[in-house]
Structure 1
Amino acid sequence: MENDSYIETCAICFLSIERAKKLVPPEFIEGWNWFQQRAGTTMRVLPHRDPTLNDAPISLTRDAGIHSPDYKKLRSRGADKNKYVLSIHAGGSRYNNKDLIYLEDGTWILDYCSQKPERGRKATTDFNSVMMNNLRDGIPIAVMIKQSSGGYMVCGLGFIEEYNAATESFIIHGPVNPSTEAAGFFSIVEAEHLSDSEIQILKEWDAEDERVQVKVNQIRRQGQERFRKALRDAYEDTCVISSVAIPEVLQAAHIYSYRGPKTQIVNNGLLLRSDLHLLFDAHLFTIHPENHKVVLSDQLKASDYKTYNGIQIADPCDRRLSPSDELLNIHYQQFLVESR
């Protein structure tokens, strides 16, 4: 995805538990182990509400969705580490959080709404800012989902890969475990595009290291250029909605942005005029997954964009490169949530 000001993505190329362990208080590592050992199970209540759980090494959850433990109560007193979120749970009535969305590669993603203070009350802690620390530093969080049948499913750990200010939501991608890490699901690029020395530089990420910054910027630029070229070729330099054929104003839009080998593929992209790319990312319009027709929000229906409502997007020159209906459905469902 192009570097839009309303979208912040994690800049770390290779996210991993081992790297994150160096940045958090030691009690976080014990907490991560606790959640990973119980991944896939359902708990009757949230951990902090279960009186039988007296073996927890750290406070694991709280009633509100985002939980960042009080460092003053930790044995290490926080070990002079940055403030991070340990866990979140989704499914409360105040937010439009959805269930996990399972991808073809076996991983899942979750659109998690940012915290909004209750009416008439001021939040004592800005948990959204703490969540941003997790995003920027590559620190995983534990995820629990409230079940309609009762209880909470423990989903394991996930990395926060993106924050979208337009939709006020975080994208969390998991589960984080040795097998998913080894498969490269939490890296920006596929390892075969890099030399061993380049991989080592990126795994030793240091935001203050100029050589890392140069390499990260180079990799992102090259990856986006490959993605854009593939889409330009597939759609013959023509916007799939407006039919504008001016390469300088065409951008490569991800239908859904997550890390891993399958994100930078034509089936996860649309070639859009720059303004339409902005509106698509903001979920002000979507593409219906069944008929590939444009669906506008009420806001756009009253604007000059109304002429695009109901238009069927152009097909690529090779039908095998058509947008993934599964990924279009993810965007479509989020559009419905944002349009409520």
Structure 2
Amino acid sequence: MSIETYQGLTLSYERATSLVPDSYLPAYQWFLSHEGEVGPRPWKDHAPKDMPITLVAQRGIHKPGGQDYAISITIANPTIYGADSVHLLDDGTWMIQYCEHHHNTGRKPGSPRYNQALINCLEDGVPVGVFYKTGNEYQCLGLAFLESYNNMAGIFTLHGPVHKLDSGALSPISAKEIEDALENAAKLRADVLFNSKTLDLDYLGSSHEGKRDFTSLKRDLKNAHGETFKTDLIEAYNGQCAISGYDALPALNATYLSSYLGAASNTPSAGILLRTDLGTLYQQSLISIRPDTYEVMVGGALRNTAYNHFDRRRISLPSNEQLWPSKARLEAHHSSFMQLNC
């Protein structure tokens, strides 16, 4: 199993618009202006007359003809698509799981172009519009970034809403953090500049020798904030793993309940203190925590291992209830776990 995540420095609406064809821009504007509305989708008789591309397909993933990126997804039947409800997070954003087209997976031979179009959005940091069926109508949730793809479960995780000039809650690292880090660290060659428009690194010379890749810089910036985050969790959980009770600090890690998304993720309620191996299993959705009972759930792949003795064990919680793990973030993780282990 592998879980693919966005590997760039940061996500933003402005960066995405510099990558997609011009015909996508009025489509993005439509999703921004209709965010939250409930009614018919912009399809057939309801389609905008002056839109250069079709906004939506009859169902599922819509990829405009001849283009690499998906423009929208429609969640019309949770039973078929394996999609869960919208998870409202405590930072004002939401997450939702979306099942790939059935009987196909990502890059495997013969996989449909529709799944690959979503993977392209994930890899390049390009958003998609999201429609979610409620009763006999659809709610336009607006734009969302593809946050991850679990190839075993066949599940994409989307995170929204995406707004113009206001992507701080969804951006792994802000442009200001990148600029400050590059200036202070002075680790880049003279021919490497930070492009404030695309939020990428521009290599001005012909040689890439000695360049810093996105992953290492992102990790450095994440770790700079992570030390305080870990310290806060150690204090909240009295230096003990919430599942096992282990108290050897070198063996404990601050585990994010959902993906790391910048400063908004560095509050104690957005994480949990776990033994390193348990944190890895949680991130791989091989174990989970029920948001209603705070009990550990062990997945089928671990049933015949020593980890099974943690099944149904209630985690230890901080004495301060405000520091308890966010139920919304646990729900988002648990829904993915259940689809993988149902």
Shared fold per TM-score greater than 0.5? yes
The yes-or-no answer on 1:21 pairing with 2:17 is yes
* Structure-2 change in CA distance of 1:321 and 1:32 (3 Å): same
Map Cα deviations across residues 73-132 of structure 1 (whole Å, 9 max, x no partner): xxxxx6xxxx211111113232211232122222221112223347xxx96733333222
Q: Which residue of 1 aligns with 2:112?
A: 125
* Structure-2 change in CA distance of 1:67 and 1:133 (3 Å): same
Contact 2:84 2:335 in 1 (8 A): no
Q: Which residue of 2 aligns with 1:6?
A: 2
Task: For residue 297 of structure 2, give the secondary structure of its aligned residue in structure 1.
Answer: strand
Structure 1 vs Structure 2: percent identity of aligned residues?
Answer: 30
Letter in 1 for 2:247: A
Q: Which residue of 2 aligns with 1:88?
A: 73
Query: Which blocks of at least 5 consecutive residues in structure 1 are unaligned?
Result: 72-77
- Return the alpha-carbon distance in structure 1 between the equivalents of residues 201 and 119 of structure 2: 15
- Return the alpha-carbon distance in structure 1 between the equivalents of residues 302 and 17 of structure 2: 45
- Return the alpha-carbon distance in structure 1 between the equivalents of residues 276 and 91 of structure 2: 30
The yes-or-no answer on 1:61 pairing with 2:48 is no
From 137, 148, 156, give the equivalent of 1:170.
Answer: 156
Task: For residue 201 of structure 1, give the secondary structure of its aligned residue in structure 2.
Answer: strand
The yes-or-no answer on 1:206 pairing with 2:206 is no
Q: Residue 196 of structure 1: CA displacement? A: 5.5
- Return the alpha-carbon distance in structure 2 between the equivalents of residues 316 and 294 of structure 1: 16
- Return the alpha-carbon distance in structure 2 between the equivalents of residues 98 and 258 of structure 1: 21
- Return the alpha-carbon distance in structure 1 between the equivalents of residues 302 and 199 of structure 2: 42
The yes-or-no answer on 1:155 pairing with 2:155 is no
Letter in 2 for 1:325: K
Q: Which residue of 1 aligns with 2:169?
A: 185
Task: For residue 334 of structure 2, give the secondary structure of its aligned residue in structure 1.
Answer: helix
Cα RMSD of the aligned pairs, angstroms, is 3.2
Q: Residue 226 of structure 1: CA displacement? A: 3.7
Map Cα deviations across residues 152-180 of structure 1 (whole Å, 9 max, x no partner): 21111111122233543222111112374
Map Cα deviations across residues 235-287 of structure 1 (whole Å, 9 max, x no partner): 34432212233344333221122625321222121222233223322333322
Contact 1:144 1:155 in 2 (8 A): yes
The yes-or-no answer on 1:145 pairing with 2:145 is no
* Structure-2 change in CA distance of 1:172 and 1:258 (3 Å): farther
From 88, 97, 100, give the equivalent of 1:111.
Answer: 97
Letter in 2 for 1:160: L
Contact 1:85 1:130 in 2 (8 A): yes
Q: Residue 143 of structure 1: CA displacement? A: 0.7
Contact 2:286 2:301 in 1 (8 A): yes
- Return the alpha-carbon distance in structure 2 between the equivalents of residues 124 and 336 of structure 1: 24
- Return the alpha-carbon distance in structure 2 between the equivalents of residues 306 and 196 of structure 1: 46
From 212, 237, 240, give the equivalent of 1:238.
Answer: 240
How many corresponding residue pairs? 320
Contact 2:130 2:142 in 1 (8 A): yes
- Return the alpha-carbon distance in structure 2 between the equivalents of residues 123 and 59 of structure 1: 25
Query: TM-score normalised to the size of structure 1?
Result: 0.80
Query: Which blocks of at least 5 consecutive residues in structure 2 are unaligned?
Result: 184-192, 204-210
Task: For residue 98 of structure 2, give the secondary structure of its aligned residue in structure 1.
Answer: strand
- Return the alpha-carbon distance in structure 1 between the equivalents of residues 48 and 116 of structure 2: 29
Letter in 2 for 1:206: D
- Return the alpha-carbon distance in structure 1 between the equivalents of residues 155 and 201 of structure 2: 24
Q: Which stretches of structure 1, 4 residues or longer, exceed 6 Å deviation after superposition?
A: none
